[in-house]
Amino acid sequence: MTSSTVSDLPTFDHVLAAAERIRGYAVLTPLLESSALNKRLGFRLLVKAEPLQRTGSFKFRGAFNRLVQLDEAERKRGVVAFSSGNHAQGVAHAAEILGIPATIIMPADAPAIKLANTRGYGADVVTYDRWTEDREAVAARIVSQRGGTIVKPYDEREIIAGQGTAGLEIIEQAAARGITIDAMAANSSGGGLIAGCALAFAARSPATKIYCAEPAGFDDHARSLAAGTRLQNEPGASSICDALMATTPGQLTFAINSARLAGGLVATDAEAKRAMAIAFNELKLVIEPGGAIALAAALHGRFPGNPGTIAVVASGGNVDPALFREALAA
């Protein structure tokens, strides 16, 4: 990494500052558990319920933390973001709250609920073909034509810091109940959520082992951590986890994660569906497939060393009804 890139890395102080900025705007989501489920599993499982966050995912945290720091001139020019859906909604709603024009580039095959919600927050949605077009090139073209600030989905200091507030809350909520967390995992696409959480745990709960969780076929973080360098996913892979389809870890996020994570966990689409059903039945929580991967990894025994207490982030709940019905019936 270059010296300028190193200077862009967030620290725990950035996470603390983000927590103050989003206070009163972001929801303090609950840390859920089921005694019946704990008995069946043989360990204590804590689930951070980010589907109950504004826009239905953790992404609002980082988006608001980034946008609220724009100066008046930048706010007038507006923001441009690219996302399969959850970052799109987070940026769109943060922009709506702050009175900032927003243009969001989304894949044409994104879940209908994510497209509709993003438009509902007042953003101008521009669709593209995820298989033949480069979303960053589309964003750059729009900025050259209209102006505006690009808000990246994960590889920005203030985005990572904002997502880290979820980890900070987990630690504080567990401590308030006298709980020591042995291991923790969050779903990973570009890696912003787990990177921010890793900063929080390193500062406040350093004995906790931290893992990223990914769908099979999109385990670039797990393989990159094992190799010690950023690797890409093989082209042509598919998954129902539309929120977790980044091709490679981010540069900033991998710099954090490679130093702090104990490894990567992988779960299949079928396991994600089962996790969605269990979350609904046991916790009364609606989770989308990409939001259920860390939970699926816990439910299917992927954590090494048989930890006694595991915390996972259920990162989003923006699932189309037909797919949710399918998961419940699986």
* 53: region left, alpha or beta (phi > 0 left; psi from -120 to 50 alpha): beta
- Coil, helix or strand at residue 57: strand
Q: Determine the average pLDDT of the residues in 210-238.
A: 95
Q: How far is the C-alpha of 197 from the C-alpha of 62, rounded, in Å?
A: 12
Whether the domain at 3-57+156-329 and the domain at 60-150 fall into the same CATH topology? yes
Evaluate if residue 306 carries a pLDDT over 50: yes
CA distance 191 to 20: 23
Residue 299, SS3?
A: helix
Could you read off the pLDDT of 153-194 as tens digits, one per residue?
999 999 999 999 999 999 999 999 999 999 999 999 999 999
Averaged pLDDT, 125-145: 89
Question: Which helix (H) or strand (E) is 81 found in, with range?
Answer: strand 79-82
With a CB cutoff of 8 Å and minimum separation 6, the contacts of 217 are 233, 234, 237, 238, 239
Res. 251: pLDDT tops 60 = yes
pLDDT tens-digit map of 17-57: 999 999 999 999 999 999 999 999 999 999 999 999 999 99
Residue holding tokens 């900070």? Answer: 168
Q: Are strands 102-107 and 124-128 parallel, antiparallel or unpaired?
A: parallel
Residue 3 above 50 pLDDT?
A: no
Among 3.90.1300.10, 3.30.342.10, 3.40.50.300, 3.40.50.1100, name the CATH number for the domain at 3-57+156-329: 3.40.50.1100
Interval 84-116: pLDDT, tens:
789 999 999 999 999 999 999 999 988 888 899
pLDDT at 1: 54
Domain spans in the chain, listed from the N-terminal domain onward: 3-57+156-329, 60-150
Q: Given pLDDT bands bounded at 50, 70 and 90, which one contains residue 5?
A: low
Contact (Cβ atoms closer than 8 angstroms) between residue 99 and residue 199: no
Kindly indicate the confidence band of residue 7, based on its pLDDT and cuts at 50, 70 and 90.
Answer: confident
- DSSP annotation of 234: P
pLDDT for residue 216: 96
The highest-level CATH class for domain 60-150 is alpha beta
